[in-house]
Amino acid sequence: MNTCAELNKLSNNSEIDKQIWLQNNFQVYAVTNTNGNPDGLLTSYYEPEFNASRTAKNGYEVPLYRTPATLQKQKPWFTRKEIDTLAEAKSQLRGKEIVYLADPIDALILHIQGSGKVRVTEPDGRQSWTRVAFAGTNEQAYKSVGRWLIDQGAIKDASWRSIKEWASRNPNKVQEMLWANPRFVFFKEEAISETDPTLGPKGAQGVPLTARRSIAIDPASMPYGTPVWLSTKGPTLNENRLMIAQDTGSAITGAVRADYYMGSGFQAGELASQVKQNLRYWVLQPKTSN
């Protein structure tokens, strides 16, 4: 059966028709960990949205960079602190600026989330939305700045809200906090779909993510494109719904482990930061013909 072709024929059918088709053509298999335990961990991520300037100016002085030419030859590349302080690192990034943000914490959010939308003001005053997408890292170890602050007793939870509130009270310590995470992310600019601007960034599968329908998984445990029936119950999400495995992340390891793509913008970020709860899921595989 050509599953995708058959499914496309149902695009205008009712939800009941689609449900019946899935039940008739797919077999459901429970996913468990290697010890047979069906319980796992669900977290969530999102795509941030920020204002930016195409050129450096007062109030917009934090650059997002394209990958430097020496990145493939020098691994690991300079640490975050070295990028900010060494003349050699700065010279290799000169001319690689994509846009400039107003807040170094916003830049860090993009580094950790991996992509985001920015409303760019051009030198002539024109404004438009564009996407900055993940292009690579300096291959230094990732260290959580939230964990760094908690260990110092500076904050009680590692939400971005708490981190930003701390930063506003301690501007002279922000640089030290940023340098606690040696990893640095480089970006590439991608156009946002004019026909469907709600589409998310491209996941590891190479297709745009869909809010509340895409999850990141461990590709060593599950192929990209796998339909997954996800079940989770917690203070933020209480859902039983069909998702598609379309992305991955360095923290997503193991059979019963997923990262739920919440969507774009502030509200999605607030929800995503609160998700850390139990997960069970089942994969749907096409039935084989007898």
- Please tell me the predicted confidence (pLDDT) of residue 289: 65
- Please tell me the predicted confidence (pLDDT) of residue 158: 85
- Cα 162 to Cα 169: distance, rounded to the nearest angstrom: 11
- Please tell me the predicted confidence (pLDDT) of residue 253: 94
- Please tell me the predicted confidence (pLDDT) of residue 175: 97
Residue 1 has pLDDT above 70, yes or no: no
* Bridge partners of residue 285, in order along the sequence: 27
Convert the pLDDT of each residue in 197-219 to its tens digit: 778 999 999 999 999 999 999 99
- Please tell me the predicted confidence (pLDDT) of residue 18: 83
Mean residue pLDDT of the chain comes to 93
Residue found by looking up tokens 């950790």 in the block: 112
Say which amino acid occupies 165. E
Residue 7 pLDDT grade (very low, low, confident, very high; cuts 50, 70, 90): confident
Residues ≥6 apart with Cβ < 8 Å to 143? 180, 181, 182, 183
Residue 236 has pLDDT above 60, yes or no: yes
- Please tell me the predicted confidence (pLDDT) of residue 194: 75
Say which amino acid occupies 157. D
Residue 3 pLDDT grade (very low, low, confident, very high; cuts 50, 70, 90): confident
- Please tell me the predicted confidence (pLDDT) of residue 21: 87
Residue 290 has pLDDT above 60, yes or no: no
**Alpha helical stretches, state H, the chain:** 3-8, 15-25, 80-85, 87-93, 104-113, 145-151, 160-169, 174-179, 266-272
- Cα 99 to Cα 54: distance, rounded to the nearest angstrom: 5
Convert the pLDDT of each residue in 119-159 to its tens digit: 999 999 999 999 999 999 999 999 999 999 999 999 998 88
Convert the pLDDT of each residue in 252-262 to its tens digit: 999 999 999 99
How are strands ordered across the β-sheet holding 62-65? 62-65, 97-101, 49-53, 115-121, 127-137, 185-190
Residue 5 has pLDDT above 80, yes or no: no
- Please tell me the predicted confidence (pLDDT) of residue 130: 95
At 158, phi and psi to the nearest 5?
A: -95, 30
- Please tell me the predicted confidence (pLDDT) of residue 260: 97
Residue 245 has pLDDT above 60, yes or no: yes
Residue 250 has pLDDT above 90, yes or no: no
Convert the pLDDT of each residue in 161-196 to its tens digit: 899 999 999 999 999 999 999 999 999 999 887 777
Residue 53 pLDDT grade (very low, low, confident, very high; cuts 50, 70, 90): very high
Q: Taking Cα atoms as reference points, which of 107, 129, 132 lies closest to residue 120?
A: 129
- Cα 249 to Cα 204: distance, rounded to the nearest angstrom: 9
- Please tell me the predicted confidence (pLDDT) of residue 22: 86
Residues ≥6 apart with Cβ < 8 Å to 244? 210, 213, 214, 215, 225, 226, 227, 228
CATH superfamily of 47-190: Barwin-like endoglucanases (2.40.240.50)
* Record: fold of 3-46+200-286: Barwin-like endoglucanases (2.40.40)
Domain ranges of the chain: 3-46+200-286, 47-190
- Please tell me the predicted confidence (pLDDT) of residue 251: 85
Between 18 and 186, residue with greater pLDDT: 186
- Asked if 227 contacts 213 with a C-beta cutoff of 8 angstroms, the reply is no
- Please tell me the predicted confidence (pLDDT) of residue 287: 86
Decide whether 3-46+200-286 matches 47-190 in CATH topology: no
